Structure 1
């Protein structure tokens, strides 16, 4: 699979939203009551994506193949409730289309995110991952992230147990 990586533009936001929704529902949708899932996804409006995109510290990197958007990563200053005194940066989202899993796109997007943190003078990169998303947890652990404790990730009125993970940069 031949992948091209590039920074996102505002014109990419509809494709990012489509991929995010499809990937989230395919991976996690079975965990939630329909109302909780609908309430969660309702927060991802075109306006909300545009507001995020306009945040000066937030960055999106895209992975594209001949079929279009295959994955994306989103980084920003730390928003997670991590207890740290270090300079931090956060991997807020990393999502792939099913066809891109195993292609190396996740590694390329994570490497980009780590480079973003370093370029901003961060000493640590933080993320959260669903406790039972074993594939993602193994991927992050292979890349030097350590479990730093629980985090309640809200999907509607449902609290998932996520794990906060940190990597020293």
Structure 2
């Protein structure tokens, strides 16, 4: 297993992986139209290119046998989706391939997020998680995150409630 920072040359594989893991995770809970709208808007080539070229957005990939097995997207202020607190780092996305679940890849990616936050001298790491994603909520709680607020996440035309969680750092 290897974790590395993503580069612009990873755009196509990262985009395909992001689309497929998001669809696998949330497709059964949302309409096809809402999923398509979200994919077209959020997972567009232009968005990935902009993110990968931004100094405020960081992607880290985890590979197993040279195959992409997961990723995280981290946002420094001012690229954060909600708080834009310069004392924090946002973990906007953390996804692993279904075939790797239970192998500790999510925990390794989360540890990478903590390390990046500490390198950037941040006080805390925060994220938003869908209120119905109980497994993810338990994972974050087990790893030191606590709920502190909620916000509305728009998936296509469907407003969904996310729980905002944070982990204080040393």
TM over 0.5: yes
Name 1:138's counterpart in structure 2: 138
Q: Does structure 2 retain, via aligned residues, the 8 Å contact 1:89–1:122? A: yes
Deviations 1:84-140 (A, max 9, x none): 6x7111111111110111111111110010111111111111101111111111111
Name 1:40's counterpart in structure 2: 38
Name 2:91's counterpart in structure 1: 91
Name 1:64's counterpart in structure 2: 63
Q: 1: distance between equivalents of 2:23 and 2:89?
A: 27
- 1:21 equivalent among 8, 19, 22: 19
Displaced runs of 4+ in structure 1, greater than 6 A?
none
**TM-score, length basis structure 1:** 0.92
Q: CA deviation at 1:37?
A: 1.1
Q: Does structure 2 retain, via aligned residues, the 8 Å contact 1:23–1:97? A: yes
| RMSD over aligned Cα atoms | 1.6
Name 2:109's counterpart in structure 1: 109
Q: 1: distance between equivalents of 2:14 and 2:148?
A: 29
Number of positions where the alignment pairs a residue of Structure 1 with one of Structure 2: 166
